[in-house]
A and B are shown apart, each in its own frame.
Chain A
Amino acid sequence: MSRYNFAYLDEQTKRMIRRAVLKAVAVPGYQVPFGSREMPLSYGWGTGGVQVTASVIGPTDVLKVIDQGADDTTNAVSIRKFFERTTGVATTTRTEAATLIQTRHRIPETPLRVGQIVVFQVPIPEPLRWLEPREAETRKMHALEEYGVMYVRLYEDITRHGRVAQTYEYPVIVDGRYLMRPSPIPKFDNPKLDRSPALMLFGAGREKRIYAVPPWTSVKSLDFDDHPFEIEHWDRPCALCGATSVFLDELIVDDKGGRLFICSDTDFCSRRRAASDPIPGR
């Protein structure tokens, strides 16, 4: 602990990242470039999210880290340990007890509240990437609000599959202005971004971009009038806790094709099971 500055990053770096965060909050959905640092974990493991967390975390924060909805997978455990060692802050798995939640791939099922900050690890921040390879051009398209090509992609999906087949990092318009790629969360979680009471921060370490959705900001998933946005549905409840209207993971349990569908949010699921009187599903 004594060998590192609080939260690992030096104070100058934190100030630089906080300035980027402030700008990102001021211009919702806009990707702010920042001087991303080398972190003691490899790109793709959450370097962007870790830097944002390190810059906003304080000694009184309570940290929760999830990976694919789970508190106990390698990435979540490693990042939680990292901040335990470098900050000494309290950690938790309970969504409502956390003030700061770093996440990869999910927004918790338990509703967020005012004062919470959610930090997303973002692999590719640019929603127009794969449609327009030139970075200078994508920036111009954002500046001029030229988002027609994104609809070309939705058109293609409907043409080929009869519906929009994009199931994660489903593109959204933030505050009626900027097109944003909401990290790789399932589209199931998109409605949770809309007018959320919590502050959402997105950090992309390799691509060196930070963007944000401030509390109570409108976040609209792109769609066509005759093909409205829809979230995933499952025809069965969670096999462990019986919750409905939650995001379920498919688990293969034997070699005979046996499978289970269980909550992807482990905290939500285990506490429902622990409670003798299960809290109602959302």
Chain B
Amino acid sequence: MNATVDDRPLLSVRGLGKHYGGRMGCRDVGFDLWSGEVLGIVGESGSGKTTVLNCLSGRVAADAGQVGYTKADGSVVDMRRLDESARRRLLRTEWGVVHQHARDGLRMGVTAGANVGERLMALGARHYGRVRGRALDWLARVEIAESRIDDLPETFSGGMLQRLQIARNLVTEPRLVLMDEPTGGLDVSVQARLLDLLRGLVDDLGLSAVIVTHDLAVARLLANRLLVMRGGEVVESGLTDQVLDDPQHPYAQLLVSSVLQP
């Protein structure tokens, strides 16, 4: 990691806004994400978390604001003004997107190995043996047995699907990963293993990540900093423990106190 990258945030978002017709999706969202940092976005359903994430990746076109991204070569680009081919290329190389429903992010009709290898082949890998080798390596890293490499994702459990989706994204060693409810729909023990795995990967690879979740426990485990959203706006932001242990905004207080204690 060279100095020019370190002294600028990886992602610098200012005044991000999106309206769906007359309805507001999000308004004036801004934050900086530094290299190696994990930012959590929490809030109830409909608070605009996923809209923010989709605006970042360009899956949804934002109406206002800037999304400044510092590329690996040190140059800064505004994702909103980048032409589509460059944006799609970045999404395949330096970014990864993990969808809430693994089926949205995977090709269900092709084997696990092909799913993991796709990004490599899209970037020009033309050696079958090496693509397969990398796929095996990554399946092992996300704790999927090597013997499953030639199985269709259809035959995988929910937790395995999510891990496969993560491997598929991380195989090209992206610098930034956007995750939408990565543990959604998984039972608690599977969630715990996935969180463990994610934490390990983030540490090992020095990944930066934006994780959208409604689950404060997930946020506490994974995120260094938190944004609390409500009605499309950021109502509170700060270090994770600070926000969760000493929330200032009434809504953040409500959110924290709503968590059931077993």
Bound: A77/B121 CA distance, A? 45
Bound: A268/B131 CA distance, A? 43
Chain B residue nearest in CB terms to A150: B121
Q: Assess whether A144 is in contact with B111, with CB atoms less than 8 Å apart.
A: no
B126-159 CB contacts (< 8 Å) to partner A = 126-129, 131-132, 150
The distance from the CB of A244 to the nearest CB of chain B, in whole angstroms, is 30
Bound: A143/B84 CA distance, A? 11
Residues of B within 8 A of A143 (CB): 85
Q: Assess whether B84 is in contact with A155, with CB atoms less than 8 Å apart.
A: no
Binds B, one of A60-68, A192-200, A221-229: A221-229
Q: Assess whether A144 is in contact with B117, with CB atoms less than 8 Å apart.
A: no
Residues of A within 8 A of B117 (CB): 152, 155
Interface assignment of B118: CB less than 8 Å from any CB of chain A: yes
Bound: A258/B129 CA distance, A? 40
Interchain pairs with CB closer than 8 A, number: 56
Bound: A143/B85 CA distance, A? 9
Bound: A223/B114 CA distance, A? 15
Bound: A116/B10 CA distance, A? 58
Interface assignment of A159: CB less than 8 Å from any CB of chain B: yes
Interface assignment of B14: CB less than 8 Å from any CB of chain A: no
**Contact A159 to B127, CB < 8 A, known contacts A148-B121, A152-B121:** no
The distance from the CB of A161 to the nearest CB of chain B, in whole angstroms, is 12
Bound: A190/B113 CA distance, A? 28
Q: Assess whether B128 is in contact with A148, with CB atoms less than 8 Å apart.
A: no
**Contact A155 to B114, CB < 8 A, known contacts A144-B84, A144-B85, A144-B88:** yes
Interface assignment of B239: CB less than 8 Å from any CB of chain A: no
Residues of B within 8 A of A152 (CB): 107, 110, 114, 117-118, 121
Q: Assess whether B127 is in contact with A225, with CB atoms less than 8 Å apart.
A: yes
Chain A residue nearest in CB terms to B85: A144
Interface assignment of B220: CB less than 8 Å from any CB of chain A: no
Q: Assess whether A159 is in contact with B113, with CB atoms less than 8 Å apart.
A: yes
The distance from the CB of A129 to the nearest CB of chain B, in whole angstroms, is 14
Bound: A160/B112 CA distance, A? 12
Residues of A within 8 A of B150 (CB): 159-160
Chain B residue nearest in CB terms to A227: B128
A2-23 vs B, Cβ < 8 Å mask (1 yes, 0 no)? 0000000000000000000000
The distance from the CB of A95 to the nearest CB of chain B, in whole angstroms, is 35
Q: Per DSSP, are chain A's interface residues mostly helix, strand or loop, or mixed?
A: helix
Q: Assess whether B118 is in contact with A149, with CB atoms less than 8 Å apart.
A: yes
A129-151 vs B, Cβ < 8 Å mask (1 yes, 0 no)? 00000000000100110111101
A138-186 CB contacts (< 8 Å) to partner B = 140, 143-144, 146-149, 151-153, 155-156, 158-160
Q: Assess whether A146 is in contact with B122, with CB atoms less than 8 Å apart.
A: yes
Contact of A226 among B121, B123, B128 (CB under 8 A): B128
Bound: A146/B85 CA distance, A? 9
Residues of A within 8 A of B19 (CB): none
B226-256 vs A, Cβ < 8 Å mask (1 yes, 0 no)? 0000000000000000000000000000000
Residues of A within 8 A of B84 (CB): 140, 144
Residues of A within 8 A of B131 (CB): 155
Residues of B within 8 A of A156 (CB): 110-111, 114
Bound: A156/B107 CA distance, A? 12
Chain A residue nearest in CB terms to B124: A148
A32-48 CB contacts (< 8 Å) to partner B = none
Interface assignment of B119: CB less than 8 Å from any CB of chain A: yes
The distance from the CB of B137 to the nearest CB of chain A, in whole angstroms, is 16
A201-236 CB contacts (< 8 Å) to partner B = 223-227
The distance from the CB of B143 to the nearest CB of chain A, in whole angstroms, is 21
Residues of A within 8 A of B85 (CB): 143-144
Q: Closest 10 A-B residue pairs measured CB to CB?
A: A148-B122, A151-B121, A224-B128, A144-B85, A225-B127, A148-B121, A155-B114, A152-B114, A152-B118, A226-B129
Q: What would 21 A/B residue contacts be, using CB atoms closer than 8 Å?
A: A144-B88, A146-B88, A146-B122, A148-B122, A149-B122, A151-B121, A151-B125, A152-B117, A152-B118, A153-B110, A155-B131, A155-B132, A158-B128, A159-B111, A159-B113, A160-B111, A160-B150, A223-B126, A224-B126, A224-B127, A225-B127
B residues sitting closer than 8 Å to A (CB atoms) are 84-85, 88, 107, 110-111, 113-114, 117-119, 121-123, 125-129, 131-132, 150
A residues sitting closer than 8 Å to B (CB atoms) are 140, 143-144, 146-149, 151-153, 155-156, 158-160, 223-227
16 more contacts with CB within 8 A, not counting A148-B122, A224-B128, are: A143-B85, A144-B84, A144-B88, A148-B119, A152-B118, A152-B121, A153-B110, A155-B110, A155-B114, A156-B114, A160-B150, A223-B126, A225-B126, A225-B127, A225-B128, A226-B128
